[in-house]
Each structure stands twice: as C-alpha cells, then as structure tokens.
Amino acid sequence: MGHKFTMVLNREITDEESEQLTETVSGNVTLGSDTLPTNSSVAVTRMDIDDDVTPSLAESIEAALAAVTSMSDLSVPGLIVEPVVKPKPEVTVDLDGVIEGDLVPETVGATS
C-alpha cells in the first residue's frame, strides 16, 4: 500500500501542466476539477496521489509540493491526508497450559 494524499491546487491547470505533473510526481496521480472548500465559486484542481515509490509519506508530500510550486503561479492551499487504519492483531488464547488451583497471594515487598 502506498502513501495516499490529496493536494488541492490554487487554480485549474492547463493540459500541459497536467502532463508535467503526472510525469514529475511519484506514484499514481489522478487530476480532477473541484472548488475551494472555503469558497465554492473558485475553481481549482484536485490532485489525488497514491505513491508506492517514495519511502515515507513526508518525503512523498515534499516531492509533490516541490513539483507543484516549481510551476508558475501554482500553489497548494489544501492538503488532505486520510488516516491509515491498521488492522488489529489477531489474539489467540492457549488454554491447554492452564493449571487449576488456588491463587497465591502476592508477596512482593512483604516483610515477615
């Protein structure tokens, strides 16, 4: 599984910019039209990235940000990183080794 995040760019990008970003940014890049979350009248580009090449999420975001900001008048006013839900480990209980009997009171630190 790669590092997944979304960058909201400050404007709609051209076909040439789209091609350059998909070639420059590591991993699978999907571009689409959207609006700013804070102002729905401003048209922007949404860039969804699934990067399974870069070692860490931080490095992946930094590389994508560098690719975007290297282009004229292009910036990233929004970044969305979904939390990664790790599966809970499977717990097994082995009752074959249980010995029946009485509990022994704890005597650690006791004085006699």
Does the pLDDT of residue 18 top 60, yes or no?
yes
Q: What is the CATH number of the domain that holds 17?
A: 3.30.70.3220
Q: Give CA separation, 95 vs 76, 92, 101, 102, in Å.
A: 56, 10, 14, 17
Res 31 pLDDT > 90: yes
Q: Could you tell me if residue 31 is inside a domain?
A: yes
Q: Residue 112: is its pLDDT beyond 60?
A: no
**Confidence band of 63 (pLDDT split at 50, 70, 90):** very high
Domain extent for 27: 3-80
pLDDT band at 89 (very low <50, low <70, confident <90, very high): confident
13 is written with which tokens? 């990008």
Rounded Cα–Cα distance for residues 46 and 29 (Å): 10
Residue 107 falls within a domain, yes or no? no
